[in-house]
Amino acid sequence: MAVASSDTAIRSSKVTRTFIYLFLLLFALFYLMPLGIMLVNSLKPLSEITAGGMIAMPNEWTIEPWLSAWSTAQIGVEPTGLRPYFINSIAMAVPAVAISTVAGALNGYVLTKWHFRGATWIFGLLLFSCFIPFQIVLIPMARILGLLEIAGTTYGLILVHVVYGIGFSTLYFRNYYAAFPTELVRAAQIDGAGFFQIFWRIMLPSSGPIIAVCCIWQFTNIWNDFLFGASFASGDAAPMTVALNNLVNSSTGERPYNVHFAGAIMAAAPTLLVYIVAGRYFVRGLMAGSVKG
Amino acid sequence: MAATDPMLDSGADFRTRLQAWLPKIVLAPSFAVMVIFVYGFIAFTLYLSFTDSRMLPSYDLVGWQNYERLFRVRQWDTAIINLGIFAGLYIVISTIIGLLLAIFLDQKIRGEGLLRPIFLYPMALSFIVTGTAWKWILDPAIGLETTMHRWGFENFQFDWIKDSDMAIYTIVIAAVWQSSGFVMAMFLAGLRGIDNEILKAAQMDGASNFQMYRRIILPQLRPAFLSAFVILSHLAIKSYDLVVAMTDGGPGTSTWLPALFMYEYTFTRNQMGIGASSAVIMLMTIAAIMVPYLYAELKEQK
């Protein structure tokens, strides 16, 4: 986002400004409402929700729904709660983020500083591959995972996320390194530095911000993915999003809404935390992933 | 401009040669992965769309039969009409809300630093989480409707999510909630990039606020409009999770979108050939929007 060029503010009367503030506050409320409702209802007994008090504060506060969602709720066959699936998601996201980021950094470095014929073509193909609808690869991917005997496992999901994460991570580093002075690379070369030495000593030390952006983007996407998780890792290996959907959409009898809300917050917590801690990089990632293609 | 031009003359030893080849060796795995897992897979699905694959892939070609059948299936009709309604409303409403929020936030608002992250945070959430929240909020049995009744508005009625004619609009509500803050961020970036000198000059010439926005500011935001359109339409065509979480396609099949159709026909109804052809149509639709856009972006970057 561009920095502090002064606002394109217009002259406006008191009435207009009041209206503007009202409008903005109303929308702030609209955006906060679902999170607020989830939070409030995850802390009240079920009877209070079914009695029709979804928006009211709890009369009786309880953390029971949270405990249930975490360790005893029925998901699929077993009453295991969401905990094992939360662990699945971490076991899937951490390596997938790490691998795709490293690959993206190296690719970006090659594509900007070691030009060769066809590099632009490769970049164009990578660029388009970021935006395909994943439905087009579901069937062959299922076949390949089956052939590799990692269908239905976390390893399979790691592979899938690395494969389809490389496009974006390469884009980020490529755009970032494109602005990096090539003279520095050349000078180092003349001094006898090799390919990896240049990468390690010159490129990486100045790559902090883009590494942050890339990791946050990949983590958010991978953690929030549902399509791949639902297609390739049902059952015990399911990630958090799939488990949450099973919890919410397959419970029979009286629905434990409060447990659903607690579970939803758990599924949202990691990316929400990242957003709160590193919102600046999150926004930069969003913008780079869209505006710059 | 090449940083290196390897001297591969006769004197070059193995190390030098290796150095010259290293960049390509490093890029090779990613390149191979892309060729196989993206373009190879696209080719494979394209091939399958011309075969009589059902539960498992079959390699017997049947010509255009799957496409002909696809366009005769009622659920595909539903999915396409729904996509039209959903994408149209989603793009237009998100753009309007995003633009208004950006313009208003840009009026030297106190607390901008607090409001901006509030508008944007839904983008960090999974569609499954968003869908779960909105599913229960809009559920007439426990959510908004019941709450309004409790507050004394006995006649308040809002059961769209249970109404097969209206359910698709509830998906729009949740999707707009999720993305409009992001559109706001794009427009805000655009607004902050506008040169203030022109505005001051226009102000001196006595242009009204409305005129300034219509004649000077909005035209300059054209790139942001274009990006918003491309990103939102891309998101709309791919939409799957949100529908699964909110309505699971129901009531009946009334909220099916192409992405859901593809999944159902391929993996649940064992009609892989038709599923593959629907995926191909989805790819073509997105390509029709993305390819010209990316081409223009790439050219600009040079």
Residue B210: predicted pLDDT: 82
CA distance A215 to A218: 5
Residue B302: predicted pLDDT: 56
Confidence band (pLDDT; 50, 70, 90) for B2?
very low
* Side chain identity at residue B191, one-letter code: L
Residue B155's SS3 state is coil
Average pLDDT over residues B76-94: 97
B298 touches chain A (CB under 8 A): yes
- Per-residue pLDDT for B233 more than 70? yes
Cβ neighbour number for residue A270 with a 10 Å cutoff: 19
- Per-residue pLDDT for A53 more than 80? no
* Span A78-117, pLDDT tens digits: 888 999 999 999 999 999 999 999 999 999 999 999 888 8
* Span B152-166, pLDDT tens digits: 888 888 888 888 889
Average pLDDT over residues B105-118: 91
- Per-residue pLDDT for B7 more than 70? no
Residues of B in contact with A196 (CB under 8 A): 22
CA distance A85 to A244: 9
Average pLDDT over residues A248-269: 88
CB-CB contact of A286 with A218 (8 Å): no
Instruction: Answer yes or no: do B27 and A224 touch at CB < 8 A.
Output: no
CA distance B91 to A145: 36
* Span B26-50, pLDDT tens digits: 999 999 999 999 999 999 999 999 9
- Per-residue pLDDT for B3 more than 70? no
Burial of B155: CB neighbours in 10 Å, binned 0-12, 13-18, 19+: exposed
Instruction: Please state, rounded to an integer, the average pLDDT across all residues of chain B.
Output: 89
In terms of CA atoms, which chain A residue is nearest residue B212? A10
Instruction: Answer yes or no: do A248 and B132 touch at CB < 8 A.
Output: yes
* Span B119-144, pLDDT tens digits: 999 999 999 999 999 999 998 888 88
Nearest-CA distance A60 → chain B (Å)? 18
As beta bridge partners, residue A75 has: A78
CA distance B85 to B283: 19
Q: What percent of chain B lies above the pLDDT cut of 90? A: 64
A287 vs B270, higher pLDDT: B270
Provide the chain B residues 87-106 that lie in CB contact (below 8 A) with chain A.
97, 100-101, 104-106
Nearest residue to B158 via CA among B142, B176, B138, B172: B138
CA distance B9 to A189: 18
CB-CB contact of A151 with A234 (8 Å): no
Residue A115: predicted pLDDT: 82
CA distance B40 to A132: 13
Token pair belonging to B69: 């059948």
Q: What is the largest CA-CA distance in chain B?
A: 91
A254 vs A162, higher pLDDT: A162
Residue A4: predicted pLDDT: 41
CA distances from B80 to B72, B76, B85, B279 (A): 12, 6, 9, 13
Residue B301's SS3 state is helix
Token pair belonging to A280: 């600046």
Nearest residue to B235 via CA among A279, A7, A271, A286: A286
CA terminus-to-terminus distance, chain B: 12
In terms of CA atoms, which chain B residue is nearest residue A221? B126
CA terminus-to-terminus distance, chain A: 15
CA distance B126 to B130: 6
Residue A8: predicted pLDDT: 64
Q: Which of B3, B193, B258 sits opposite A182 (nearest CB)?
A: B3
Average pLDDT over residues A134-148: 95
CB–CB contacts below 8 A, A to B? 313
Which residue blocks in B125-257 are alpha helix, DSSP H? 127-138, 144-150, 167-192, 196-204, 209-211, 218-220, 222-238, 241-246
CA distance A181 to A183: 5
CA distance A208 to A278: 13
Residue that has been written with the tokens 């004619």 in this structure: B165
A289 vs B273, higher pLDDT: B273
- Per-residue pLDDT for A228 more than 90? yes
Residue B16: predicted pLDDT: 79
As beta bridge partners, residue B51 has: B61
Question: Exposed e or buried b for every residue in B96-108, given b needs 16+ CB within 10 A?
Answer: ebbbbbbbbbbbe
* Span A148-184, pLDDT tens digits: 999 899 999 999 999 999 999 999 999 999 999 999 9
Residue A226's SS3 state is coil
Instruction: Answer yes or no: do A38 and B133 touch at CB < 8 A.
Output: yes
B153 touches chain A (CB under 8 A): no
Determine if the pTM surpasses 0.80. Answer: yes
- Least-confidence region, from A22-31, A46-55, B76-85: A46-55
CB-CB contact of A29 with B119 (8 Å): no
Which residue blocks in chain B are alpha helix, DSSP H? 14-34, 41-48, 65-70, 74-105, 112-120, 127-138, 144-150, 167-192, 196-204, 209-211, 218-220, 222-238, 241-246, 258-263, 272-301
Q: Which of B33, B39, B129 sits opposite A163 (nearest CB)?
A: B33
What are phi and psi for residue B55, nearest 5 degrees? -80, -35
Residues of A in contact with B105 (CB under 8 A): 24
CA-based R_g, chain A, Å: 24
CA distance B166 to A159: 40
- Per-residue pLDDT for B12 more than 80? no
